[in-house]
């Protein structure tokens, strides 16, 4: 009997691959190995609706429990993949057993970057990635009196908005000079800085944390490099993630900053592929962004589209991966939508004003990304323009009378 497909990692990407394989008529066994206890679930609500108590655990599940038996997907929760025997095509698991595979999919995701300062292990210091983290954070939030958030990225700002909405004092410490510097323009960063200030959030930019100060075994404050100490009984650290690349690297696969795959999401071992947050892959949208045109993308869209793309290859319909990257973030009353991939050097053109505007980004004269707030129409237009590669000049983007929609709907 065929050993089928074994998926290491039961997050959004791993789950999507399994679901899409069955949709594509794949008949061999599928085993989904995940180190978390819960059924595969959505992560985006963890820092938003789930934390705010607006949805429960069941509301997060990607499919109801019956799905797995019905579609003959063996979900093995609470197990880690610990080593790959590539010669024997077997995946070793944390309970001492192993699984044979015809094809192994690495969908191992990423983990939070730890804050490398004394006191980071104290009670009251939290991170947020999985359901267990969210439950612990929710519990801390219920009794918190003063909050410090380290990192003004997506996690930090989404959490700061939820905490501020409860009337709690929140200060965000950020190493860079502006929020979300990795992901958005300085114009969009400035908008969100003002928006959070209006919600009552305080900021310290260009700031370094030197220690978490403890009292009676619990976090009581944060010491900054400039000598200040901020009192806090809840400290959320959201300083980015590290790809879970070790399983691949220890098996001799290239995996410096993410598991290296080609345009078909294949590693150099034809029996092993990688998808989702852990994968580093080439994509035309990254041209001019990174030296070799490869990226790792930490987003739901990427996890889903890569799961689908690989499932198509494994069911006999190979295609290179080229889905347009897009993202969103809910921060208080504001929804940020991003289409495309921009870098810090990309030029910016603002369209719209006040609380409803988009920033069109250009790299080497070509549209690279569009960031929108309260301009859902711009976002959808941007997706079409970027997907089709329709030329747009910075002057056209800047002209409020220019018919962007007409351009996007025009047939090539
Ligand atoms: N809406 C969304 O798309 C969304 C929401 C939540 C989380 N996520 C994902 O979750 C992951 C984690 O999010 P994140 O917010 O931790 O990462 P991030 O990369 O978005 O932001 C990390 C921030 O921390 C800052 N930083 C790094 N080291 C620091 C230090 N020592 N002191 C102070 N600041 C420091 C960085 O400059 C950056 O602004 C990412 O993959 C993110 O894309 C996405």
Q: Tens place of pLDDT for every residue, the chain, 412 residues?
A: 799 999 999 999 999 999 999 999 999 999 999 999 999 999 999 998 999 899 999 999 999 999 999 999 999 999 999 999 999 999 999 999 999 999 999 999 999 999 999 999 999 999 999 999 999 999 999 999 999 999 999 999 999 999 999 999 999 999 999 999 999 999 999 999 999 999 999 999 999 999 999 999 999 999 999 999 999 999 999 999 999 999 999 999 999 999 999 999 999 999 999 999 999 999 999 999 999 999 999 999 999 999 999 999 999 999 999 999 999 999 999 999 999 999 999 999 999 999 999 999 999 999 999 999 999 999 999 999 999 999 999 999 999 999 999 999 987 6
Domain limits of the chain?
5-111+241-315, 125-237, 342-409
What atom of ligand 1 comes closest to residue 300's alpha carbon?
3
- Give the mutation target among 108, 127, 154 for probing the ligand 1 site: most ligand atoms within 8 A of CB: 154
- Strands 90-93 and 98-100 turn out to be antiparallel
Report the C-alpha gap between 183 and 346 in whole angstroms.
12
Report the C-alpha gap between 358 and 372 in whole angstroms.
4
- Give the mutation target among 153, 182, 243, 299 for probing the ligand 1 site: most ligand atoms within 8 A of CB: 153
Fold identical between 125-237 and 342-409?
no
* Integer CA distances (angstroms), 257 to 76, 209, 242, 245, in order: 27, 25, 8, 7
- pTM comes to 0.97
Report the C-alpha gap between 337 and 99 in whole angstroms.
41
Nearest CA to ligand 1 atom 25: 151
- How far does residue 130's CA lie from ligand 1's centre (Å)? 15
Does domain 5-111+241-315 fall under CATH 3.50.50.60? My reply is yes
- How far does residue 57's CA lie from ligand 1's centre (Å)? 24
**At which residue do the structure tokens 């000049």 appear?**
393
125-237 fold: FAD/NAD(P)-binding domain (3.50.50)
Q: What is the CB < 6 Å shell around ligand 1?
A: 47, 150-156, 158, 173-176, 181-182, 209, 238-241, 298-299, 327-329
- Give the mutation target among 49, 128, 150, 151 for probing the ligand 1 site: most ligand atoms within 8 A of CB: 151
Report the C-alpha gap between 332 and 204 in whole angstroms.
19
SS3 114: coil
**Secondary structure (DSSP) of 40-67:** SB-SGGGGTTTTTTSS-GGGGBSS-THH
Q: Cβ–Cβ contacts within 10 Å for residue 174, how many? A: 24
* Integer CA distances (angstroms), 326 to 160, 165, 258, 259, 379, in order: 23, 27, 20, 21, 9
Q: How many residues does the chain have?
A: 412
Asked if 204 contacts 174 with a C-beta cutoff of 8 angstroms, the reply is: yes
CATH number of 342-409: 3.30.390.30
Give which of 301, 180, 194 is closest to 240, Cα–Cα. Answer: 180
Give which of 202, 162, 200, 203 is closest to 181, Cα–Cα. Answer: 203
């Amino acid at each position: 009997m065929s050993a089928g497909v074994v998926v290491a990692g039961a997050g959004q990407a791993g789950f999507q691959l399994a679901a899409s394989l069955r949709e594509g008529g794949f008949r061999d066994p599928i085993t989904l190995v995940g180190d978390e206890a819960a059924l595969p679930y959505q992560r985006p609500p963890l820092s938003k609706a789930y934390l705010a108590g607006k949805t429960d655990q069941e509301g997060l599940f990607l499919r109801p429990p019956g799905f797995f038996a019905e579609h003959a997907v063996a979900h093995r929760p609470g197990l880690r993949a610990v080593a790959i025997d590539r010669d024997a095509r077997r995946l070793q698991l944390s309970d001492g057993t192993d699984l044979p595979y015809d094809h192994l999919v690495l969908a191992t995701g990423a983990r939070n970057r730890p804050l490398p300062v004394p006191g980071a292990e104290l009670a009251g210091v939290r991170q947020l990635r999985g359901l267990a983290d969210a439950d612990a954070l929710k519990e801390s939030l219920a009794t918190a009196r003063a909050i410090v958030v380290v990192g003004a990225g997506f996690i930090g700002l989404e959490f700061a908005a939820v905490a501020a909405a409860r009337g709690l004092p929140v200060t965000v410490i950020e190493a860079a000079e502006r929020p979300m510097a990795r992901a958005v323009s300085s114009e969009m960063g400035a908008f969100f800085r003002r928006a959070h200030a209006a919600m009552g959030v305080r900021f310290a930019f260009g700031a370094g944390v030197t220690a978490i100060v403890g009292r009676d075994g619990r976090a009581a404050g944060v010491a900054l490099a400039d000598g200040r100490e901020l009192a806090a009984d809840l400290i959320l650290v959201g300083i980015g993630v590290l790809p879970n690349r070790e399983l691949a690297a220890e098996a001799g696969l290239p995996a410096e900053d993410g598991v290296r795959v080609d345009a078909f999401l294949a590693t150099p071992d034809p029996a092993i592929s990688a998808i989702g947050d852990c994968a580093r892959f080439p994509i035309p949208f990254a041209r001019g962004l990174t030296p070799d045109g490869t990226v790792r993308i930490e987003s739901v869209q990427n996890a889903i589209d890569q799961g689908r793309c690989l499932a198509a290859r494994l069911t006999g319909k190979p295609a290179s991966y080229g889905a347009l990257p897009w993202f969103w973030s809910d921060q208080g009353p504001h929804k940020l939508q991003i289409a495309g991939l921009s870098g810090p050097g990309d030029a910016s053109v603002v369209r719209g004003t006040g609380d409803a505007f988009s920033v069109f980004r250009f790299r080497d004269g070509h549209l690279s990304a569009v960031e929108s707030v309260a301009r859902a129409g711009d976002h959808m237009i941007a997706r079409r323009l970027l997907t089709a590669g329709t030329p747009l000049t910075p002057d056209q983007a800047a002209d409020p009378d220019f018919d962007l929609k007409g351009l996007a709907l025009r047939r090539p």
